Amino acid sequence: MSEEIGSCDVAVIGGGPAGLAAALGARRAGAGRVLLLERERALGGILNQCVHDGFGLFLYKETISGPEYAERLAEDVGRETIEVETGAMVLDLTAGRVLRINSRAGYRLVRAGAVVLAMGCRERTRDQAGIPGTRPAGVYTAGLAQNLVNLRNLRVGSEAVILGSGDIGLIMARRLIFEGIAVKGVFEIMPWAGGLERNVRQCLMDFGIPLELGSTVVEIRGRDRVESVVVAKVDEALAPVAGTERVVPCDTLLLSVGLIPENELSKRAGVELSPLTGGAVVDETLMTSVPGVFSCGNVLHIHDVADWASFEGFAAGENAARYAARYAAEAAAGDMMAGEKTAEDTPCEAVRETTVRGKAAESPRERMGIGKAESRPSGTTVRVTTGPLVKYALPQIVTSGTAGVEWSFRVTRPARDVRVEVRGKDSGKIYAGRKFPRLLPSELQKIKVKEAVGEDLEVGGHE
């Protein structure tokens, strides 16, 4: 028995700043049917709860709030022939680019010529941060507190402590002050702030909120509600220093301890993930290890500016449209269509094949005629790794002979007078070099290689 499968040229999963831009990019690049899927009731993603300004400076050349930024992108989408489905949950994605969708219209399957992953990210929780103590009410991730305050008009407490100095935590420190909630301090385990410098100045310094670096919360106290937290200094190994503990009375603890790319669907499709970013390994077109599946925005790597996520989305959408056009042309010629009908698809973890009496049982994908994705040709790509000072660099793969590739990168620690270089690993040739007066881990940077590359590369820096 088989299920009927619909089709589209490009499917975009996620309607945030990257996903909206990806749908626009795909449509403007000539994709016929573009399907934009968003699980929430409204487009915009995290932008809808970011009522502060600071958005749009690069894309719209003016500073606007998050909801305004989302509205402008959504209006642009509305002016194009793009199919938008909100309240639509993508349950599964195969390597053959078949999506299982549950929406208001019901359950269905859609095969896409190309897929753009734009699912965003989620926050690290208390358990993931490993904070001991009791389990009282009053412990929130910073993003949840932002949602409760900005969208639901709820008061989260009276006296707050914030653990971590990510941008959401810094912005929420200021927001709590606006709500009449005292902020006892922001405690950051690293010896530098995790958020942008402008947010440290505008959200903490301007309001007299103390920032304690090299400190962390080692215990949460309270029965029904948070009553206090215990903070302590940490050593170079980030372990608490005995004898430095002190109690800070509060009834609320906000956690701003990192973001994790939302890559569950990516894993189900067999996408290779980078341990450095938590996102997909991509080439210069933002295509993942699964041909025809592209990634952009915070699901690929965490961005400090929404505009950059949108620019990445435009590029991913355009490249997805080009891939889908090639796929359609080959399918029309009969080559790819034959392969799709006969090849076995890579099963996801939830429907992994079982073996009965030594014979592999027929998988649900085989019964539905879902095929296996094409393989990336061997010997046509070069790998990109990181050197001193550089935490990660994207893309991690470049098609041999490609010119004009631009890398996004972050550094491992603050540094001054840094020269970042893109070098050939075998030849030692410097393909590009750029001098930076100052680099911070919180700021995404760029470096571009103009000429074609044909060997494995390393992106590294030195002071």
User: How do the domains of the chain map onto residue ranges?
Assistant: 5-122+260-368, 125-257, 381-462
Q: What angle do CA 268, 265, 377 make, to 5 degrees?
A: 60
Nearest to 270 by CA among 382, 163, 346, 375: 346
Contact residues for 239 (Cβ-Cβ < 8 A; gap 6+): none
pLDDT at res. 414: 97
Residue 63: CB atoms within 10 A of its CB come to: 12
pLDDT at res. 361: 37
Q: What are the strands of the beta sheet with 445-449, ordered from one edge?
A: 390-394, 405-411, 445-449
Write out the H or E segment, with its range, that includes residue 412. none
What is d(CA 380, CA 24) in angstroms, rounded to the nearest whole number?
30
What is d(CA 214, CA 212) in angstroms, rounded to the nearest whole number?
7
pLDDT at res. 69: 98
pLDDT at res. 335: 53
Candidate CATH numbers 3.50.50.60, 3.40.50.620, 3.40.50.300, 3.30.365.10; the one for domain 125-257 = 3.50.50.60
Helix 66-79 and helix 17-28: axis angle, to 10°? 20
What is d(CA 431, CA 449) in angstroms, rounded to the nearest whole number?
6
What is d(CA 284, CA 326) in angstroms, rounded to the nearest whole number?
17
Structure tokens at 119: 């699912």
In tens, the pLDDT along 389-412 reads 999 999 999 998 899 999 999 999
pLDDT at res. 327: 83
Structure tokens at 120: 């965003």
Residue 429: CB atoms within 10 A of its CB come to: 13
Judge whether residue 38 has pLDDT over 90: yes
Count of residues making up the chain: 463
CA dihedral 123, 126, 129, 132 (to 10 degrees): 170
Dump the DSSP string for 330-375: HHHHTHHHHHHHHSPPPPPGGG---EETTEEPPPHHHHHT--PPPP
Residue 86 β-bridge partners: 38
Lowest mean pLDDT among 13-17, 223-227, 245-249, 348-352: 348-352
Give residue 384's pLDDT band: very low, low, confident or very high (50, 70, 90).
very high
Q: Are 10 and 66 in contact (CB under 8 A)?
A: no
Give the SS3 label for residue 271. Answer: coil
pLDDT at res. 242: 97
pLDDT at res. 330: 79
Alpha helices of 179-280 — where are they, by DSSP H?
Answer: 197-199, 264-268
CA dihedral 127, 146, 171, 411 (to 10 degrees): 40
Give the SS3 label for residue 209. Answer: coil
Model pTM score: 0.88
Taking CA atoms, 292 is separated from 5, 296, 322, 348, 381, in Å, by: 18, 13, 10, 17, 16
Decide yes or no: CATH 1.20.5 for domain 381-462: no
Q: Which CATH class is domain 5-122+260-368?
A: alpha beta
Judge whether residue 341 has pLDDT over 90: no
Tokens 């269509």 belong to residue: 337
Judge whether residue 350 has pLDDT over 80: no
pLDDT at res. 332: 75
Nearest to 256 by CA among 180, 203, 313: 203
Percentage of the chain with pLDDT > 70? 89
pLDDT at res. 2: 54
Judge whether residue 261 has pLDDT over 80: yes
Percentage of the chain with pLDDT > 90? 85
Judge whether residue 366 has pLDDT over 90: no
Give residue 427's pLDDT band: very low, low, confident or very high (50, 70, 90).
very high
The one-character DSSP state at 201 is: I
Give residue 373's pLDDT band: very low, low, confident or very high (50, 70, 90).
very low
What is d(CA 32, CA 81) in angstroms, rounded to the nearest whole number?
8
pLDDT at res. 432: 96
Give residue 346's pLDDT band: very low, low, confident or very high (50, 70, 90).
very low
pLDDT at res. 334: 66
Residue 412, exposed/middle/buried by CB under 10 A (0-12, 13-18, 19+)? middle
In tens, the pLDDT along 156-190 reads 999 999 999 999 999 999 999 999 999 999 999 99
Averaged pLDDT, 312-332: 92
**Cis before 395 (ω within 30):** yes
Q: Do the domains spanning 5-122+260-368 and 125-257 agree at the CATH topology level? A: yes
